[in-house]
Amino acid sequence: MAKKELNKTNSSFSRDKVINRAEQIRRDDDIIKTPKCTIEDVDWAVLSYLQEIVKPQIIENNQTIDVPVLYANGEKWAQVQSRGYMRDRKGKMMTPLISIRRGTITERDTLKKLDVNQNPSGNSQVLQNKFSTINRYDRFSLIRGDKPLK
């Protein structure tokens, strides 16, 4: 059966002919793929945002050094947790470095409803604490029991 051509548009008030839209538009032989967004796409979007938009840098001895941002898989993350640092393939310690990983995936119950025009509660502020000299993210503040300021 050949594809039907759409030569003219019939009015919705036409009573003599019933149009079956399923015969006019087909998606089973399309060459255009339906876009998808997977969890991996979200991970790489966060990584590329940090690398290309944030572009973390440090200043050491009056030199600006770009800080690389890497995605840490399970093996790399276990190495960082046990040793406190990461090494490259040649065994050289990589510092400074930012490594990220996805810990868990949880479904937000507030977004299940179709209230698209309302801002769900708990969505107003995602990041509370910013890094500063007072709010440090290191092992020493954890050992001392320092809590970050809000």
Using alpha carbons only, how large is the chain's radius of gyration in Å? 27
Confidence of residue 137 (pLDDT cuts 50, 70, 90): low
The answer to whether the CB of 70 falls within 8 A of the CB of 99 is yes
Looking at residue 63, its pLDDT comes to: 93
The answer to whether the CB of 67 falls within 8 A of the CB of 97 is yes
Closest by Cα among 71, 68, 103, 99 to 85: 99
Looking at residue 16, its pLDDT comes to: 58
The answer to whether the CB of 95 falls within 8 A of the CB of 85 is yes
- List pLDDT tens digits, range 35-81: 888 888 989 999 999 999 999 999 999 999 999 999 888 888 888 88
Looking at residue 6, its pLDDT comes to: 55
